[in-house]
């Protein structure tokens, strides 16, 4: 199981949000490159870089993300506002993987699966991570602001049938709360054949990481608990 610290960016600063609410943010650093190097030195397997401004349409942190990738040697996975193929292609020039959620769901719901298949052919399924973020088991998009009404299990199965294998899941109601992860939903989707699931949201202690690992996911994202010093990358890697 890969240990993947998150670096969430707003206005060039490293922040964490509470339940995805941009009005409830905590700033942890004004130097994202320094934070990235810190997590790399601590043994992170990959970094999850999130452009929150791009996600909610308030601007972007694209150059900051590219600068981070240039200054570290471990892979980066980029998320946030990647809603057209040109932007995805330019991001994959320096990133190992990109996360698509809103775009993937929009194409799915408008019955344009052919574009999704073309993306897999162009970029490779290992480099395209579908975010299946949810509230009460229903997929949300547009920076977690829009409920699609699509069930988590149904969406995961459908994207898997399309040829996707890499997924990122967050129970939004858990994110940034330190209330513990949504093990029940994680267990269900990890059992779907052909999926590599990254778990995110709610982690507050080492025991949470242990519970997640029992579901056999591809990786786990560490966010607020890491920044608050409640857990360390070194500890997580011993599990």
Q: Which of 53, 133, 182, 208 is catalytic?
A: 133
Nearest to 223 by CA among 214, 237, 233: 233
Nearest to 223 by CA among 80, 19, 11, 66: 19
Instruction: Tell me the β-bridge partners of 27.
Output: 15
- Cβ–Cβ contacts within 10 Å for residue 17, how many? 22
Nearest to 48 by CA among 84, 25, 89, 16: 16
45 is catalytic: no
8 is catalytic: yes
Instruction: Tell me the β-bridge partners of 6.
Output: 48
Three-state SS string over 178-229 comes to: CCCCCHHHHHHHHCCCCCEEEEECCCCCHHHHHHHHCCCCCEEEECHHHHCC
Just list the catalytic residues.
8, 133
């Amino acid at each position: 199981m890969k240990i993947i610290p998150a670096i969430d960016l707003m206005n060039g600063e490293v922040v964490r949000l509470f339940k995805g609410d941009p009005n409830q943010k905590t700033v942890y650093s004004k130097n994202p490159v320094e934070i990235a190097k810190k997590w790399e030195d601590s043994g992170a397997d990959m970094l999850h870089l999130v452009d929150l401004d791009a996600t909610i349409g308030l601007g972007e942190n694209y150059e900051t993300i590219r600068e981070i990738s240039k200054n570290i040697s471990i892979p980066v996975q980029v998320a946030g506002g990647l809603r057209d193929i040109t932007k995805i292609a330019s991001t994959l020039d320096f990133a190992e993987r990109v996360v698509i959620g809103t775009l993937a769901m929009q194409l799915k719901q408008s019955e344009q699966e052919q574009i999704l298949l073309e993306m897999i052919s162009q970029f490779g399924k290992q480099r395209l991570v579908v975010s299946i973020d949810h509230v009460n088991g229903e997929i949300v998009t547009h920076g977690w602001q829009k409920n699609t009404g699509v069930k988590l299990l149904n969406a995961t199965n459908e994207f898997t049938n399309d040829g996707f294998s890499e997924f990122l899941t967050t129970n939004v109601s858990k994110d940034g709360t330190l209330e513990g992860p949504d093990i029940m939903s994680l267990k269900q989707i990890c059992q779907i054949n052909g999926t590599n699931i990254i778990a995110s949201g709610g982690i507050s202690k080492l025991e949470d990481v242990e519970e997640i690992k029992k579901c056999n996911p591809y990786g786990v994202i560490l966010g607020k608990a890491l920044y608050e010093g409640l857990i360390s990358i070194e500890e997580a890697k011993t599990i």
